Structure formats: structure tokens, C-alpha cells
Chains A and B, each alone.
Chain A
Amino acid sequence: MSKHTMTRWKLFGTDHDFAVWLNDYSAQGWQLTKSGWIRFEFTRGVPSQYVYRYHLIPGRLGSQKRAEYLHLLDGMQVDVLKVYEDSVRAQGAAILRRDAAMGQFELESDLGSRLAYEKRLRRLYSGMAGAMVAVVIGLVVAGFFTVPTIVQSLRQGHNSFSDGLTAGITVGAALAALFFLVFGIYIVTQLVGNSRRVASLEHSHLVHE
């Protein structure tokens, strides 16, 4: 890998911490050039040249709603680097950036729209946390039912293909449960931060617009 480019891997990322991660690299002179689901390529450039945001964007891929929003962003000289589609909720999440010389880069400029955006995030995180809990419970239950079979076959000294398969499924389920548990805990921490922001915005919204 050239010293002018570098690759970094990032497994999880929600709005706030993902943007912080990208902006930290930008401050060090590394600007994002390619992005995948977990793999990101950076190129050496001018430190802090761009400000990055990771933001939910409305509408399905190819919809009029989406086109209008992207057109507005284009008019504001915002680069759309990557869009991740969420077909379940008919929306996307995008990595956006704008030249830092253009000043503050915000996607929501008043309390009402900031609050509405944070509430959208809260619904998203709550749904994800609920799904993680369901998956972990499902995997734990599935693993629990295979354990007696493994114990029994060990006692009887069996070493058949089906015993090996059952043990493999149990270990796989345990590892998957661990992965989803860690992911679930991460989502819950994001949900807590988001709930604090919602409460603070609602408090301000009582006085200011």
C-alpha cells in the first residue's frame, strides 16, 4: 500500500461516532476516497480540508423524494460519497462531505428539525436493539437444546458425524450470540446517548424554536 493511501476497517458505526471517526482522519490529512460496508480507503490530502457527516436521507433508491433531496445537497456543494440503502424503512444513510472552507456543515439547522431527526434515529436504534435481543434469545435457546445431546453423546463415547455437527452448530450459535450481544450492547449505548440528546432538545424546545 502506498504511503499516500491507507485502508481502514470499521465494523460498527452510527451517525455520530462514524462522522467523528472520519473527521479525525480528515484532521490528520487522510480524506476518504472509497467506502464499503466495513472497508474504507483514504488518500493523503490537506488536513481538515473536508468536514464529514453520516446522515439518514429520505426516500427509496430512485424515488422522486430521494432525487429532490440529493439535488438540494448538490446545490449546497455537498458531496455524496456513499449511500447505504435501508429498504425496510424506505430510506438511506449517506456519507456526506463538504469543503471546510464553506463554514459550518449542518444538515438540520433548527431545533424542530434536529429533534425530528433525533427521534427518527431513536426509532431506528430501538428497532435494531429489539431485533438484536430477539436474535440473541433465539440463538441461546437453540444452543441450549443441543447441549444435552452433546453431553449424552460424550458420556456414551460416540464420535459420529451427527455428534460433530451438533457440537459445531452449538459452538456456531454461541459465537453468533456473542457477536449479536456485543452489537446489541453497542446499539443500546447509542440509544442512551440519543435519548439524552432528545431530552435536551425537547427541554430547549420549550423556550426556543
Chain B
Amino acid sequence: MSQPLTEAVFYILVALTEPLHGYGIMLKVSDMTHGRVSLAAGTLYGALSALANKGWLDVDVVDDQKRYRLTDAGLAALRDEQERLTELAAHGRAALTERTTHV
């Protein structure tokens, strides 16, 4: 069983389903969440370093800029987390539906 991911890491992995540079990740996540999730430089840098160390990201240098892309291991981690969150949401929904029925 893999460890749950933080929201920042989850969105970084989601953003990197297409190769992007650091600032591109930040813009895409902000856009995707309508500004709710805003990745600051320190948080983003720390997460990218940790993910590269885990082998979940590969880095290419394009026009002197680092572009990050998911590895197979990174994609597998994203799928696992997606399943975990789906299960989480299903349990929450079922509990709330049951409560509404009893009331």
C-alpha cells in the first residue's frame, strides 16, 4: 500500500501528464483548480526534488529550461492515488447518503 500523497504532490503529478517546466506546472495547477491551489516556489522546488529522487520524474533540458515529465513509476503512483481518492470519496458519499436517509 503506497503512502497518501499531499495535495501539492498530487496536482504536480496531474500537471505532469504533459511535460512542463517549473513555472508551467504552477500555472497549470492554478488554472485547473481555479486558483484554489497555488504552488509557491519553495513548496514546488522541494516537491520536484523529492519526486525526482524517488524516480517519479525525469528531467529534460529544453532551451536552457528544465522540463519535467512523469516516469512510469510516477504514472503508477498517480493511478494509485487516484484510486485511493475515489475510494475515499465513495465512503464519504455513502456515509452522508445513509445519514440523510435516517434523518
Given contact pairs A109-B43, A113-B42, A72 touches B6 in the complex (Cβ within 8 A):
no
B residues in contact with A109, CB < 8 Å: 8, 38-40, 42-43
Select A117's contact among B22, B26, B42, B47, beta carbons within 8 Å.
Answer: B42
Give how many A residues have a beta carbon under 8 Å from the other chain's beta carbons: 21
B6 close to A78 (CB less than 8 A) = no
Question: Secondary structure of the B side of the interface?
Answer: helix
B23 close to A76 (CB less than 8 A) = yes
Select A110's contact among B8, B26, B65, beta carbons within 8 Å.
Answer: B8
Rounded to whole angstroms, the CA-CA distance of A110 and B8 in the bound complex is 8
A residues in contact with B23, CB < 8 Å: 72, 75-76
A71 close to B22 (CB less than 8 A) = yes
A58 close to B45 (CB less than 8 A) = yes
Select A76's contact among B8, B26, B46, B47, beta carbons within 8 Å.
Answer: B26
Q: Does B79 contact A (CB under 8 A)?
A: no
A residues in contact with B22, CB < 8 Å: 68, 71-72, 75
Q: For residues 22 through 73 of chain A, which have their beta carbon under 8 Å from a beta carbon of chain B?
A: 55, 58, 68-69, 71-73
Considering only CB atoms, which chain B residue lies closest to A55 in the complex?
B42
The interface of chain A, by Cβ under 8 A from chain B, is: 55, 58, 68-69, 71-73, 75-76, 78, 104, 106-110, 112-113, 116-117, 209
25 residue pairs of the A-B complex, CB under 8 angstroms, read A68-B45, A69-B41, A69-B45, A71-B65, A72-B23, A72-B41, A75-B21, A75-B23, A75-B26, A76-B23, A76-B41, A104-B38, A106-B38, A107-B41, A109-B38, A109-B39, A109-B43, A110-B8, A112-B6, A113-B40, A113-B42, A113-B43, A113-B46, A116-B46, A209-B7
The interface of chain B, by Cβ under 8 A from chain A, is: 6-8, 21-23, 26, 38-47, 65-66
